Chains A and B, each alone.
Chain A
Amino acid sequence: MACAMLSTRGIVDVSDPPLLQIRGLSISYPSERGAIGALRGIDLELAAGECLSVVGESGSGKTQLLLAILGLSAPSAQVRGSIRHRGQELVGMRAAQLNRIRGKRIGMVFQDPMTALNPYLHVGAQITEVLRQHEGVRGRAAEQRAIELLESLHMPEAAQRMRQYPHELSGGMRQRAMIAIALIARPEILLADEPSTALDVTVQAQVLSLFRELRERTGTAIVLVTHDLGVTAELADRVAVMYAGRVVEQADVRTLFESPRHPYTEALQASIPRTDAALPTHLPSIAGTSPDPAALPPGCAFAPRCLYRLPVCQMNPPALIESTAAHWKACHYDGVLGKIRGDAA
């Protein structure tokens, strides 16, 4: 996928091979009602140093996507397709090899730091063990590096925190600890699963600015999974919108917000009340409900709720194609969107 990308955060050199290349990734789970497809043919790429935000509602499969990259899907999951990291195929890789990538080349921040940290171990131990495993650094040296990292993440009284247990820390501090765990071995990719969702709003803002700092300082590539468009607007270079296990639109962040080409994206944006315009008389929402992954309609999964529905939409699922430069969408409707925006009623 050769393209020139200009983002507000600088020019990314696309002659670098993509850090992450996902092709046709599908994950299904066996259940009493037949196989449930959590991911149905995902194509994505991540270039060095860029921040890719994956946006979708609960059940769209975005967390599954992240887990699959590190081989952390549930044992019953059937994973098909390809995930290449610098050319190495991660799907089906043996655990011993995968363990050399986990934590060291690709780090992950999980959604709820309270449950994602081991309540029986000191926070410091949970950070330094990553160093011990991947760089052989132990003892005082490892602790030193952990403390430095925590301080750079603005953790108050970092040295004391190292010897405390997760339940003794506040939510924001726990999240910083999680981020430290993911970053201490200096991975080139950071996978972040809703990093601010489980936190209070004020702490959310802090965590987001942490991420921004991180990008500016270290140039780590980030895959940021979120359902919050605001977070996406703040941090992302490029955005992929997911619905019912598929990517339905992909573009750089500015383009996506200014001229979305998929009805779902348009509807998402429209459902957020804007503070710079008069409040509408009723909040627009997307009619209908999220589809049941076990009972997906034939054709496009969004069709039942789509305002631009064509007859073909209910028969053939649309493929993800590049409609304009670096702007991909999976939709049969080629006309101009705008039914929702601009109408206040």
Chain B
Amino acid sequence: MLRYAVHRFLSAIPTLLLVATLAFVLLHAAPGGPFDSDKRILPAIQQSIEAKYHLDEPLWRQYLRYLSDLGRGDLGPSFQYRGTSVNEIIAQGFPVDLTVGAAAIVLALIIGVAIGINAALRRGSSEDYGSMAIAIVGISTPVFVVAPLLVLVFAVNLHWLPAGDWVGGSVKHLVLPSVALALPYIAYIARLMRASTIEVMNSPFIRTARSKGLPLRVIILRHALRPTLTPLVSFLGPAIAGLITGSIVVESVFGLPGIGRYFLTGALNRDYTLVVGITVLYGALIVLFNLLADLCYALIDPRVRLR
């Protein structure tokens, strides 16, 4: 098991390296320098700025410097917000993402698993068909459609919840964004769990368990639960990528001061270091979550560990 963990950890490194390198390439491939603006800058000032940001060094040196900075966790200064580093901006915005994202995942897991397993156990009933039809709608409807619609219905028309903004610690402001983010996941997890439950309950080893005279509760908890949940674990790794994308949209629609919004405004304002820095962060998050998902999977399924 430990060998497996180490192995997976090591293979995450080339991915991180690739993300960082791509980010660096993009940073320096931009037509025009990062400080191009409509104003003209005196050549002397231009030179001193370039020296300060090491832009006058050969590219490979800049690359190594960039990598070593990354290794220390330093993502550089923001061009938009002079005097603030990218790290500081991320530190400010990340808790928002964390809260909304965590709420969304928890919501999606609880509701999705419940609906999915319920549909499977009541297979063929109208409850089954109904919930699966709604699930398809949930998966097909994109976040940026759902989010404004939620605002329209719950904030504008019904006045039950605020239309946006963020007040730390306020549950009211958390509801709509996390629901909007969670919706496609609820739908996907429900379908996944339904298929998985059906497959597991029809499998030969469940039949063996029944032949032992074990009560249904024991069969479900002891024999069926783990195999049913394994596809969920596999899914959560890649799901983080979608969560990241979704958070960009949700923060934009609801005006939340999270990393996604900084990313977007950074993109529109040509704040290269911020944008690229956040991209590297996203890459690291995806790699991390995939790693965690793989490790959880190996914990659950003993057949994987020996590979």
Contact = CB atoms under 8 A, between A and B. Distances in A.
A119 B303 contact: yes
Contacts of B211: 70, 72, 102-103, 107-108, 110, 182
A95 B211 CA distance: 11
Contacts of A99: 213-215
A168 B303 CA distance: 9
B204 A112 contact: yes
Interface in A152-185: 165, 167-168, 178, 181-182
Interface residues of A, number: 32
A116 B208 contact: yes
A181 B213 CA distance: 11
Interface in B187-242: 203-205, 207-216, 218, 222-223, 226-227
- Interface residues of B, dominant DSSP: helix
B300 interface: yes
A102 B216 CA distance: 13
Contacts of B213: 98-104, 130, 133-134
Given A104-B213, A129-B222, A120 B207 contact: no
A249 B302 CA distance: 47
A65 to B, nearest CB: 14
Contact of B207 (A72, A129, A168): A72
B214 A120 contact: no
Given A101-B213, A102-B213, A181 B208 contact: yes
A70 B303 CA distance: 30
B303 A103 contact: no
A273 B73 CA distance: 77
A83 to B, nearest CB: 15
B127 interface: no
B36 interface: no
A167 B303 contact: yes
A4 interface: no
Contacts of B222: 121, 129
A115 interface: yes
Interface string B287-307: 000000000000011110010
B208 A120 contact: no
A118 interface: yes
B207 A181 contact: no
A242 to B, nearest CB: 21
A117 interface: yes
Contacts of B212: 102-103, 129-130, 133, 181
A118 B209 contact: yes
25 contacts: A72-B211, A96-B215, A98-B213, A99-B215, A102-B211, A102-B213, A103-B211, A108-B211, A110-B204, A110-B207, A116-B204, A116-B208, A117-B205, A118-B209, A118-B223, A119-B302, A119-B303, A120-B226, A120-B301, A129-B214, A133-B213, A133-B218, A134-B213, A178-B208, A182-B211
Given A102-B213, A115-B205, 12 more contacts: A70-B211, A102-B211, A103-B212, A110-B204, A110-B207, A112-B204, A115-B204, A129-B222, A130-B212, A130-B213, A133-B218, A134-B213
